[in-house]
Amino acid sequence: MIKRLALIGLAAATVASAAVKFPYPQAHGYPHTSVIADVWNCAGQTASTMLKNQFVTYLKEYYEEQGDLARIKFDDKARTVSEGIGYGMLMCVYFSDNQTSYESQFKKLWNYYKKNMNGNGIMNWNIQGFGGAIGTGGATDAEEDVAVALIMAYYQFGNSQYLSDAATLVANMRKSEFSSNGMHKLGDQWDPYKNPSYVSPAAYELFKDVDTGNSSFWASAITTNYNLLKKNQNASTGIPSGWADNNTFQPIVGNNGYNFAGYDYDAVRAPWRWAWSYAWYGHSDAKELSTKLAAWVSTRNNGQLYINMKPDGTINQNGEPCKSNGCKANGSSIGTLSSVLIVDEKYKDLLNTNYGALMSQQQGYFHSSLRLLTGLLMSGNMQNLAKATPVEPQTFTIPEDACKDTTTYYENSGAYGWNSTSVELSDESNTGVYMGKLIKGDKREVYRKVESVEAGKAYVMSWDATQSEGSNLWLTYAVYADETMTEQLCGAMKKLVGGQTVAQTCEFTATQSGGVYLALVLNNWDEPQVAISNLALKSADGQAVEIVDPGPVDGIAEVAQAQQMKISVSEKIAYVQLTNAARVSVMDMQGRVVVPAVKAEAGMTQIQLNGLTAGNYLVVVKQSSGMKVQQIHIAD
């Protein structure tokens, strides 16, 4: 359940004894818009804590050190590209808080950039791990983001060397990556066309102040490059392209390799930069660009904010680039297209909805990078530290009774064991079910117990999935060992095609005798819908296993309502009494997991709280699609 945060204000205050000057979260409005994502959920997470959790995961997955150097791993993790260094440096500045300063990581990323500079004082764009360049020459967007990160680092960490380094880098960029009229180039060694997502007007405003004697140049860069953006933007949808003609600025195929001129993985950064420039500086051109795109975005649900759209907003699922590179909503497309919603209060609810969807997208170097950067802007955490006043981060407390859901929802019958509280089910049988409209939540989840298996034996579960007509969906499926769904036996994500039937299989070895649990998860919008049929179970040698009808599921209206729990705390041990087996984890009040999920059987389970300081925490108990949360207190 995602709610709008309306009870906690962030008034400007002097930050006392902070490790950094602007400790995360600095979640508040910008000089030119007060519209930010301010959602929270019943696990005690706010927009800021959801994002910080994503950043911690990102560091573990993509940040790597070697001595005084550090890099951000690319999709091919043996490589690093210069843009990733810029992304990482920006994140280290903005995610530093009163508990953890990421200045050490910031310095090591900056060292990596400097180690891989070419003769123009620009980082070569493609590096083999901690080795040498495998792609020479710079990429202008990387230099822009690194320079901004250096400037912001001066105001965050207080080291004047960062500002001096920024001035040197900006001068190098001006000399080698921009034309005399301020028009950006693609890099210091190539410029066959233009890239709208390389245009960063907010950065150029900052560069006026650090590039001594060249303020007028950067003013011209702002005007010249906005002219490009306005000519490149689609007149109806407001969608930019990844690449633009050097003279007309109209969309061209450019460098994406798919003979496609549209909203590719280069284009996605452009709307974020527009919204950023408006939020910080109120540029009328940025507002014009953002307003046009926001009007179109508001006509789509977030599951229709596709990557690789044509400039008119349509996709070609059976052709390129969809066939080879995919055309679906993801962390890259949802975040960037939703960034522009901050320009108008009328889009506030949609901004919150899309922000929640953004947090649930799959990981990936680029998807995760863009999720974090756009999330910073959307949540009010990407302030201009050169002009902002620090605020004291606030502790969020779930309002009393706010998470008691009294809404009457559609209730499924639970026939043949098909179980869901998030999607309307129909046509239930022992071997199939129809997954219809969303009831509540942010995704459509269906569960079914399938009996019977023997421990140690190998099996193949299979079924057919038929999607109704419409845009393609992705169906995520998994088989779990038991109802707590902590032990996944097999699983994958497969694309469905409108009007077609796709056969799917899941091979696993049972770890215990009895039933296993099939989980099916669809995108969160109502249409199109999916019919599951021909559910079957066979042993590895091809022998059919009869699927037992488990009968109707009791309490289908809310799985968790049947879960009675009593929790007490004594001497750093939480005693959790449950009526049914479940997953149990502990979060702090910022929504960060401090005790990872463990399987708790029915009866009494002890959860060790060693290492946790005195204060309030949340015990989260989850079973199938239901969840309960209870606050606990650890005394001194």
15 band by pLDDT with thresholds 50, 70 and 90: very low
CA-to-CA dists, residue 617 to 92, 193, 402, 571, 577, angstroms = 26, 54, 17, 15, 17
Could you say which of 3.30.1120.10, 3.40.50.300, 2.60.120.260, 1.10.3720.10 is the CATH number of the domain covering 415-545?
A: 2.60.120.260
582/131 Cα distance (integer angstroms) = 47
Average pLDDT (554-580) is 64
The type of residue at 23 is: P
pLDDT of residue 173: 98
Domains 2-378 and 415-545 share a fold: no
Residue 240 CB burial class (10 angstroms; 0-12, 13-18, ≥19)? buried
Higher pLDDT, 566 or 205: 205
How many CB atoms neighbour CB 79 within 10 A?
18
What does the CA dihedral 302, 304, 444, 590 come to, rounded to 10 degrees?
A: -20
**Residue 426 preceded by cis peptide, ω within 30:** no
Domain 559-634 listed as CATH 2.60.40.3080: yes
Residue 477 CB burial class (10 angstroms; 0-12, 13-18, ≥19)? buried
Average pLDDT, the chain: 88
67/77 Cα distance (integer angstroms) = 18
DSSP assignments along 254-317, one per residue: TTSSSS--SB-TTTTHHHHHHHHHHHHH--HHHHHHHHHHHHHHTTS-GGG-BTTB-TTS---T
255/322 Cα distance (integer angstroms) = 16
211/151 Cα distance (integer angstroms) = 11
Residue 433 CB partners (closer than 8 Å, separation 6+): 416, 418, 425, 426, 427, 446, 448, 531, 532
pLDDT of residue 123: 98
Average pLDDT (491-506) is 88
**Per the structure block, which two tokens stand in for 352?**
């919150």
pTM: 0.73
Spell out the CATH class of 2-378. Answer: mainly alpha
| pLDDT tens track for 327-381 | 888 999 999 999 999 999 999 999 999 999 998 888 899 999 999 999 999 999 9
Tell me the domain boundaries of the chain.
Answer: 2-378, 415-545, 559-634
pLDDT of residue 581: 76
**Per the structure block, which two tokens stand in for 526?**
């109502």
| pLDDT tens track for 383-403 | 999 999 999 888 877 777 777
622/98 Cα distance (integer angstroms) = 31
Longest dimension (CA), the chain: 80
Contact indicator for 297, 275 with CB cutoff of 8 Å: no
- Per DSSP bridges, beta strands 582-588 and 593-600 are antiparallel
pLDDT of residue 618: 77
475/443 Cα distance (integer angstroms) = 11
| pLDDT tens track for 425-443 | 899 999 999 998 887 766 7
* Pick from 495, 636, 512: nearest CA to 572: 636
pLDDT of residue 560: 39
